[in-house]
Structure formats: structure tokens, C-alpha cells
Amino acid sequence: MPNYQKPLLSLYKFRVLNKTSHKEILTSNLLSFPSPDNFNDPFDSAIPIHYDQGSKQEIISYWEEHLKISRPDLNRRQRKEGAIIACKEIQKGRLRTVEIQEKIISSMVGVFSLSGNYKGISLWSHYADSHKGFCVGFNARKLKGFCQKRFIGAEEVISLEEVEYSEKYPFINALRMSTEERLNYQLLTKSPEWQSEKEYRLIWFKGANKKLRIDDGIIKRVILGCKMTQGDKDEIISILKTRKDKVYLYQAKKKQDAFGLNFKFVKY
């Protein structure tokens, strides 16, 4: 029997069986990458980016470079004119930084959130239909390697990153930070109130609301919620039996004399 208490480095996704996009993980190896505007935390990926922390010329130069990337259809003169207009709006306080960045992120970036904590009672409650859903365990090394191989040399990049929980609210200066630094603060900084989730994220640039089909062998285990119905258990077992790869199955059980869960191996 596999030793569940000491698995290889794994990451987990809590799911609800009656949602098609959730079930597709098991039936088709499909991962859904929603844009951040669908997140339940209003602060998530919405930390303001400040574009006014510099001279007029610095602001114009920044926006010329920004438009060169975001609007490749514009010529040099048009980018210059657009940058000057943006600078005037920023200096007058009319162009809110959070609105600019929310639009850019929500239209481009897709995020597949994972957790390093499969035992969390509150996670099962919030993300797995009050323990009536299931949890999928991924081999993190294989998942990361697949994304790197799948998109090597491509314009679209998927990276696996760890979320940072910070008491201090970030101040993001667009004119003093690289694009990578800004996006890390935006997409990977959350309040410590979420720390129990031990969250990791697959971030797909230009992947907002897209789906990705991963290879067999990356999904290693499925855990059934402690309140899952017998009918739903039977359905998951039926799905697992049709897969070409071997996926281990476990049943979550309430501990009798403590707040917590035990996990029993299920043979199918």
C-alpha cells in the first residue's frame, strides 16, 4: 500500500464533482485558468501600481515602452502621443492605477491555484462543497516540468510560483520596478489571513480563461471528502478506472477525538 503520510512533493486542488470544469481534471486532464477578476478575495491581484512616482519625462518614457508592448499596431509617433496623454491624465489624478492594472491582468493572465495543505478543514469547507467534494493531488515536479517543456521557447509562458503572505501592503512603483517584480507583487502577494492555504500558482501569461491538457502521470492521487455521497464516490471510482495511468485513491475521515482528518487508502 502507498505511504500517504510521506508522499513526494505534491500540490493539491479542491474540487466539486457536479461542476463540469472541475470534473474535467479527472476525465480529460484539463486544468482551467480563470482570470483574477473571478477570485473571491477583492485584494487579490488588485494591488495598485503607482505610475506617478517620477518626473514628467520618466512617465512619458515608461508609457512609450508600455505601448510598444501592449499596442504593437501603433507607430512611434502614435506611441509618443499616447504616452503624453497618459502622463497628463496621471498628473491630473484622472487615471487610477488600479483600474489600469486590473484591466491588463484580467485580460491576459490565467491562474490555476493549488494548495500545499490537503488536511485543512476550512479548505475542504470552502473549496470542496463542505467536504462533499474531492481533492486532486499533483506531482509538483512533473507538473512544473510539463509546463516548462510544453512552452519552451514559446511566447506564452506558464510558471509555478509560491504565494507570499505579507502583513505589509506593497507599494508598487511602476517606474522603479521591472515588469517581473510588479507582476510578482500583484499576483503573488496576499494577506496573512489566507496563510493556511499554503498556496502555489500556475501563472499562464496570455492564458486568461483558457484550458490546458496535462500529460498522464502528473495526477497522482485523489482524496474523497469525508461527507461525499456514495453515488459520487462510485462516479469517481468509475472515472479513475477508465484512466490509462494509475491514480491512488483515499477517503478522508473525521478524527474521533480531535479536530482533524485521517486518510484511508481505498483499493478500487
**Structural domain range at position 134:** 10-44+109-266
Whether residues 181 and 245 share a domain: the answer is: yes
Domains identified in the chain, total number: 2
pLDDT score at 242: 96
Same domain membership, residue 247 and residue 144:
yes
What local confidence, expressed as pLDDT, does residue 65 receive?
Answer: 82
Contact 205, 108 (CB under 8 A): yes
Same domain? 139 vs 230:
yes
Among candidate residues 70, 49, 81, the one with its CA nearest the CA of residue 178: 49
SS3 207: coil
Q: pLDDT tens-digit profile of 196-226? A: 999 999 999 888 899 999 999 999 999 999 9
Asked if pLDDT for residue 8 goes beyond 50, the answer is no
Could you give phi then psi for residue 173, rounded to 5 degrees? -100, 110
Q: Are residues 87 and 120 in the same domain?
A: no
**Is there a domain that residue 252 lies in?**
yes
Residue 99 lies in a domain: no
Band (pLDDT 50/70/90 cuts) for residue 1 is very low
pTM for the predicted model, two decimal places: 0.83
Domain assignment of residue 218, yes or no: yes
Condensed to tens digits (0 to 9), the pLDDT of residues 26-67 reads: 999 999 999 988 888 888 888 887 877 878 888 888 888 878
When pLDDT is cut at 50, 70 and 90, the band that residue 5 belongs to is very low
Both 85 and 150 in a single domain? no
**253: helix, strand or coil:** strand
In a domain, 3, yes or no: no
C-alpha angle 231/265/201, rounded to 5°? 85
Shared-domain flag, residues 236 and 144: yes
